[in-house]
Each structure stands twice: as C-alpha cells, then as structure tokens.
Amino acid sequence: MDDAMIKCANVSFKYIKNSEGINEERYAVKSVNLEVKKGEFLVILGHNGSGKSTIAKHMNALVVPTEGTVVVDGLDTSKPENVWNIRSKAGMVFQNPDNQLVATIVEEDVAFGPENLGVEPSEIRKRVDESLEKVGMAKYKRHAPHLLSGGQKQRIAIAGILAIDPQCIIFDEPTAMLDPSGRRDVLNNIKNLNKNHGMTVVLITHYMDEAAQADRIIVMDGGSIKMEGTPREIFPQVERMKKIGLDVPQVTELAYELKKLGININEKILNVDEMVNELCQLK
C-alpha cells in the first residue's frame, strides 16, 4: 500500500514575465521532488517569491506543472478528468477567509461544497454539523459569516473544506491576516484535525512558532527545496536559515546565542517550556 498522499516528481513551473516589452520565461518552481505522507503534518517555509505558494497550488490542481508530475492519492493532476476528484481529496484554505465565504448564513456556507459535489441532502446535513463541531463553531451555524471575527471566519472556511470530506487539506498562509488569538485558534484547529482526525495537513506559513509544531519542514528558496527535516533538525541551523532570509523560533535563537557565549545548553529547543527546563538545569 502506498503511504504517499501527494507526490511531486521533478516538478517545474514556468511563467512568462514581461519586462520592458520583452517576454522572458521565469521559473517559479524548479525541479522539486517532494512527498507528503498520509497523516503527516508538513510545513513549507520560504519568503515571498520562494515558490512555496506555487507548489501548494500544484497540490490540488489549481496549476499543473510545466515539467514533471504531481500525483494526489494516485491521480495525476495534469489529466483534466481527474481535477474534481483531486479537489475533493485535497482541499485548500487560503489566506483571506472573505474570499472563501459565499453564503449569508454559516451552515449554508459550509454546505456549499458538498452541494456542488451532488451529495445527498441528509448526508450534507450530517457533514455540516460534524464539520462545524470539529472547528468549534457549531453554536454559530445560524449566524451571518460577515459578522464573525477573522479567526472565526477562517474556521468556517476550514469547515467548508472539511464538509467535502477530503483526506488532505493544504493551508496557504491561513493565519496571515489574523490577530494573535485568531491565529492560535486556527492553528489549534489545524493540529486537532491532524492529530485527532488523521487529516493530512500541508501548512504554508511564515510564522516560525507554527512551523515548530510540524512533523516535518521543507524550506524553499528560489523555487527549489533547500532544506528538509524535523523542526529540531532545521531550526538549530540558525545561520543557514538567516542566509535564506528566514527566522527561527525566538527561544531557538536565544539558545543559539547562549551557546555562542560558551553556555552549555541544548540548542535544539523549540518552545518556552523547554527553555525553562534547560535554564533550570544550568548549574
């Protein structure tokens, strides 16, 4: 049995850039090989223009590769007849929830996806209730989405994707427009879907504290994968991350600086609790 949810094999994506009247080909993504395992929580990091959003759009056939192949649960994204199947297996949640909300009442919004897929009304009812329950928004089902906070709207957008019953959700910077408490709520939802409901999660983010909670991290730069590993393998490489133009979690950087000062501390620290434990052990 294949445990890969998504396989990108030698994926490149070219676009035409027009500068001063001259068309030139540019690569947004170049020769990317990447596998997302079923049930995994994978984070893709990279600054703007690194290719991370482009690779995410390949994962549910919003774009198809110029070269190479993307296969989602056995389906090749370049075959037009596979597109709807792929999108019901791999849902996508974007940065701005307002662009994903379509109805005037929350439960109608969540029902929109399964209705389009021709799901039976009684099954839709069940999916809507279950999806809202999973994101902690069941009591808002009769509310108007536009009256909700940014974090609540994003959780409704996630429920709308859950209602199509996907195996995988790709989140493209879902917390970028939220305040800290909205961010925390949405990230807790994402982790809950992954850990307690077996959902495969691909999260594109520029928040290092979110990335620190992943099973595995991919770092992209200039359209290619530059680093790959667990958060504990990636983040202690502070110099290398900064060279790429990325930060590391603040506590990891603090451990790195203390180590440089000759203090014997474990630099593979990812959160405040671990830092407190380490400092308490220093004699």
Q: Are 32 and 51 in contact (CB under 8 A)?
A: yes
* pLDDT score of 117 more than 90: no
The whole-number average pLDDT for the span 25-35 is 92
In the β-sheet with 75-76, what is the strand arrangement from edge to edge?
A: 22-37, 4-19, 67-72, 75-76
Query: Which helix (H) or strand (E) segment is 219 a member of?
Result: strand 216-221
Q: What is the torsion angle, in degrees rounded to the nearest 10, for the CA atoms of residue 106, residue 62, residue 51 and residue 171? A: 20
- What's the rounded Cα separation, in Å, for the pair 112 and 138? 16
Half-sphere exposure of 207 (CA within 13 A, CB side): 18
The mean per-residue pLDDT over the stretch 136-145 comes to 94
pTM of the model: 0.91
Nearest Cα to Cα of residue 165 among 71, 62, 88: 88
Cα torsion 141, 104, 173, 76 to 10°: value is 90
Percent of the chain with pLDDT over 70: 99
Give me the architecture of the 38-66+75-223 domain, per CATH: 3-Layer(aba) Sandwich (3.40)
pLDDT at 48: 86
158 pLDDT tier (thresholds 50, 70, 90): very high
With a cut of 60, say whether residue 1 has pLDDT above it. no
Pairing between strand 41-45 and 200-204?
parallel
pLDDT > 90? residue 270: no
Query: ∠ CA(216), CA(154), CA(96), 5° rounding?
Result: 90
Contacts of 188 (CB under 8 A, 6+ apart): none
Q: Where are the domains of the chain?
A: 38-66+75-223
Model confidence band, residue 77 (pLDDT cutoffs 50, 70, 90)? very high
Residue 21 pLDDT: 74
pLDDT in tens, 202-222: 999 989 989 999 999 999 999
Which range, of 38-42, 155-159, 250-254, averages the lowest pLDDT?
250-254
